[in-house]
Chain A
Amino acid sequence: MNTTQRYDILKALVPIFDDDTLVICNLGFPAQELFSIQDSERFFYMLGSMGLASSIGLGLSLGTQQKVVVLDGDGSVLMNLGTLTTIANHAPANFILVIIDNSSYGSTGDQPTHTAGVTDLAEVSRGAGISSVFHIKGEEIQDTFQRCYHLSGPHVIVVQAAVGGPKLSPIPLSSLSIRDRFMSRVSLACGQKGESHATRGGAGDWSGDGVAGARDSGHYAIRPDLTAIDAKQESHETPGIKSDR
């Protein structure tokens, strides 16, 4: 009988993360559980938009060389199955998707998902074209994740879990504080072309060495993008644009 719950799996994963691992966490109970185990500025808690944790992680992983770990669920992935095909075709090596599969919609009352029936998300992942796919029991998570963490990805780990978890409270963080503190922990992918990100409001690697300009220690860049606007743009005039309102 599988007794490993999602909370136990998250607890096993957190110590494996490095000081620069970026984590995208699915909404609802998973986010509350992660927050209660350990909070970090490098954890992006998705508060709405069910289904999109893997997509957010994919976009993020294409813009940084830091490891990106998505903590997702079966109900969530089933809502956005196309994500597996996009991951298969475009995800970079630093991307790991962990699908904690307890075959239920936990945050809405434990209604069963299709994986309680005949659907196998590991097979769907392989069919989508992802070559590194693991389908494991809860107690195997540490070994499997350690292995994936040190191998070039993208990886998908479907880990089975028992329904349920501890009773917790909503996360006491605003969406903007989650966004801003997270961005302060992301450093840009090397060799990136296009706009100079020195103008991104100093939201580079927060190594404590003193990022020029934007913040005092302990504070995070609010609206880091504002410093990206040149002086000549300050008039905010954009002639020629007629709003439809």
Chain B
Amino acid sequence: METTSQSLMQALKKHGANFFVSVPCKLLAELIVLLQRDSDITYLPVAREEEGVGVCTGAYLSGRRPVMVMQNTGIGNSVAALCSLALYYQIPLLMIISHRGMPGEKIGAQVPMGNAVKPILDLIGVPTFTFSHRSDTQTVGQLVEYAQIAQRPVAAFLDFHFWQGR
């Protein structure tokens, strides 16, 4: 049976995603392995999420459909880039975000950013969507095209329940 990560990857590609960057999260480990092995797409890990906003912007300028795979804490170091690059130039960028710091979290330090990250994105005008069910993978995939229509970065938060529903 297909895993959640396999289903998600297939949905993203089906909707045209062909350029991926990542900064890891424990919850994203399997998805990152799939990215490393997939010869249909361009994939590179970046050192920091802010850098990833720049790399994805460049990829979009070349005609690719970029996706950033990251943990929610990375929004914290990306805000200026999201505002003055991705939003200012209207760059469609889908962020696949593992949402830490919510109930089920074991690491207390994740809680402050876990709670802050959606209000931060609301404040700067990045549409956010939360998914809690494994069966939502196809809908997540559609956000690749939604980002093109919205002409801006879009955030898909995948919480603990999403990843646990194998």
Contact = CB atoms under 8 A, between A and B. Distances in A.
Interface of A: 24, 44, 46-49, 51-64, 80, 82-83, 85-86, 89-90, 175-176, 178-179, 182-183, 186, 188-189, 192-195, 197, 200, 203, 223, 225-226, 228-229, 233, 236, 238, 240-245
Given A60-B61, A179-B90, A183-B63, 12 more contacts: A48-B88, A52-B50, A52-B57, A55-B53, A60-B59, A86-B47, A178-B89, A179-B89, A194-B41, A223-B151, A238-B146, A244-B129
B145 A233 contact: yes
Contacts of B62: 59-60, 62-64, 186, 188-189
Given A56-B57, A59-B62, A238 B139 contact: yes
Contact of B61 (A182, A195, A242): A182
B129 A243 contact: yes
A83 B51 CA distance: 7
The bracket for how many chain B residues form the interface is 35 or more
9 contacts: A49-B84, A52-B53, A52-B54, A59-B56, A59-B66, A80-B50, A178-B89, A194-B64, A225-B151
Given A52-B81, A86-B55, A186 B63 contact: yes
B74 interface: no
Contacts of A60: 58-59, 61-62
A153 B41 CA distance: 22
A140 to B, nearest CB: 28
B17 to A, nearest CB: 8
B149 to A, nearest CB: 7
A46 B85 contact: yes
Nearest to B129: A241
Interface of B: 13, 16-19, 39-42, 44-48, 50-66, 80-81, 83-85, 88-92, 118, 122, 127-130, 136, 139, 142-143, 145-146, 148-149, 151, 157
B19 A62 contact: yes
Given A194-B16, A243-B129, A47 B57 contact: no
A188 B18 CA distance: 13
Nearest to B83: A48
A45 B151 CA distance: 19
A144 B45 CA distance: 30
Given A228-B148, A243-B128, A44 B61 contact: yes
A212 to B, nearest CB: 15
Contacts of B89: 175-176, 178-179
Nearest to A185: B61
Nearest to A242: B129
Given A46-B85, A82-B47, A193-B40, A63 B64 contact: yes
A240 B136 contact: yes
B53 to A, nearest CB: 7
A47 B84 contact: yes
Contacts of B65: 194-195
B2 to A, nearest CB: 19
The 4 A-B pairs with the shortest beta carbon distances in the complex, nearest first, are A48-B84, A59-B58, A63-B62, A55-B54
A236 B45 CA distance: 32
A81 to B, nearest CB: 8
A130 to B, nearest CB: 14
B84 to A, nearest CB: 3
Nearest to B51: A55
Nearest to B57: A56
Nearest to B127: A243
Nearest to A49: B85
Given A49-B81, A186-B61, A82 B53 contact: no
Nearest to A56: B58
